[in-house]
Amino acid sequence: EPEVTQTPSHQVTQMGQEVILRCVPISNHLYFYWYRQILGQKVEFLVSFYNNEISEKSEIFDDQFSVERPDGSNFTLKIRSTKLEDSAMYFCASTQLIFGTSGANVLTFGAGSRLTVL
């Protein structure tokens, strides 16, 4: 079964350092997302991406965050200068069709990248 692959599975970094989290979505998927989950809290939307541009972003997704699809297969989330409060599990997700256009459409999540900022 096709999978969304995320790397690294766990990254530890010092406050102020730049971090890049990588995702390889399913090959025929067109819509890409980043979500995050701070330990013990609910999953929160960060950003959605379609046709090589951001289609929506949350208030969390400030100037310290950026996303890119550099080579047609990878989808990356960059945090420019990490803060302690960026420590969380970051989930990449992808879907073939935008919701509502097909009942069979499935949003597929990666296993997550755990980021620890010290």
Partner 1 sequence: KNEVEQSPQNLTAQEGEFITINCSYSVGISALHWLQQHPGGGIVSLFMLSSGKKKHGRLIATINIQEKHSSLHITASHPRDSAVYICAGQGGTDKLIFGTGTRLQVFP
Residues 6+ apart with CB under 8 A from 99: 105, 107
CB of 33 to partner 1, least distance (A): 7
CB of 56 to partner 1, least distance (A): 5
8 preceded by cis ω (within 30°)?
yes
Under the criterion CB under 8 A, does residue 106 sit at the interface with partner 1? yes
* Rounded CA separation 86/90 (Å): 10
Under the criterion CB under 8 A, does residue 105 sit at the interface with partner 1? yes
When binding is defined by CB under 8 A, the residue of 21, 26, 29, 48 that contacts partner 1 is 48
When binding is defined by CB under 8 A, the residue of 18, 56, 68, 85 that contacts partner 1 is 56
* Rounded CA separation 79/58 (Å): 15
- Find out whether 34 and 79 touch, Cβ atoms under 8 Å: no
Under the criterion CB under 8 A, does residue 75 sit at the interface with partner 1? no
Under the criterion CB under 8 A, does residue 17 sit at the interface with partner 1? no
Query: What phi and psi, each to the nearest 5 degrees, are found at residue 3?
Result: -130, 155
Instruction: State the residues that interact with partner 1 by CB under 8 A.
Output: 31, 33, 35, 37, 42-45, 48, 55-56, 58, 89, 91, 93, 95, 98-100, 103, 105-109, 111-112, 114
